[in-house]
Amino acid sequence: MTDEDTTPADLSINQKTLNNSSLPEVVDECVAAGVPAVGLWRESIHEIGVGEASRLVKSAGLRVSSLCRGGFFTADSPERRRESLSENRRALEEAAELEAPCLVLVVGGLPPGSKDLAAARRGVAEVLAELAPLAERHGVRLALEPLHPMYCADRAVLSTLDQALELAEPFPVEQVGVVVDTFHVWWDPRLFEQIERAGSRIASFQVCDWLTPLPADVLLGRGMMGDGHIDFAPIDTAVRQTGYSGDVEVEIFNEEVWSRPPREVVETTVDRYRRLVRPR
């Protein structure tokens, strides 16, 4: 095997990238391609049980780069807030059992019927304050994910890296970090200064491309690197310059990618990572 054939040592495939494959199949594909890490989703873990998922991944020699996802903090009643907290507690326990370094948080959109964005954002800070000490006890870092502003109303009132850092900075760095996901932040005129500011707060680095036109379901616009408009290498360089030594997780939601054989998707991922994310 030549040096060029070596799969990057910090590449992770998020299981959503192979959405039509079971977790055992995802693990097999990663092992076959020499990909050392996987990003997991709670829904799929629940299907086979957390213990079984953990054994499966570890016995294959893989590590878990992140667990998706906790969050949905923007509750509009004390009851819903309690439910959200207990759901996030369970997610932290699962992340700990999977030895995932971080639990990715999608904080939630506006509560139904509400237009009070400022209040929803304050609510996120309040729930975070309750959850952060718990996270440390579990040895799992909360990773606040700013989502693209087009998801502000219905999915995440956390819209920029700047805003995520303001939320994270009151907490110890080992309790609360941030996610840098190229799809969500590539457009940000302050991206590079905010990555530098983030420093050791970067808990997860996720990559995929921004496609045009956006598909009818904007949740499925996450494309394979190289198929869209994002220049990955400068973002990867900036993230590494902060000292980030975690995995680069490829998370693609895209019907066309999902329709292809998983082996081909993994091979393309490795190839695009080498040529576009971290070219030599």
Binding site for a second copy (CB under 8 A): 110, 115-117, 121, 148-150, 152-154, 159-160, 162-163, 186-190, 210, 212-214, 216-218, 228-231
Respond yes or no on whether the N-terminal peptide bond of residue 137 is cis (omega within 30° of 0): no
Report the residue number, 83 or 231, with the smaller CB distance to a second copy. Answer: 231
- Min separation Cβ 189 and a second copy, Å: 4
Report the residue number, 48 or 152, with the smaller CB distance to a second copy. Answer: 152
Q: Are strands 102-106 and 141-144 parallel, antiparallel or unpaired?
A: parallel
- Min separation Cβ 84 and a second copy, Å: 20
Q: Are 16 and 41 in contact (CB under 8 A)?
A: yes
Amino acid occupying residue 56: L
Report the residue number, 46 or 190, with the smaller CB distance to a second copy. Answer: 190
At 1, list the tokens: 């095997």
Residue among 146, 156, 143 at smallest CA distance from 65: 143
Distance CA 69, CA 144 (A): 10
Report the residue number, 87 or 154, with the smaller CB distance to a second copy. Answer: 154
- Min separation Cβ 253 and a second copy, Å: 15
Report the residue number, 192 or 258, with the smaller CB distance to a second copy. Answer: 192
- Min separation Cβ 107 and a second copy, Å: 12
Residue among 40, 12, 31 at smallest CA distance from 208: 12
Which H helix or E strand runs over 67? Answer: strand 63-71
Distance CA 275, CA 8 (A): 11
Distance CA 84, CA 28 (A): 34
- Min separation Cβ 80 and a second copy, Å: 19
As beta bridge partners, residue 64 has 38
- Min separation Cβ 92 and a second copy, Å: 26
Report the residue number, 78 or 189, with the smaller CB distance to a second copy. Answer: 189
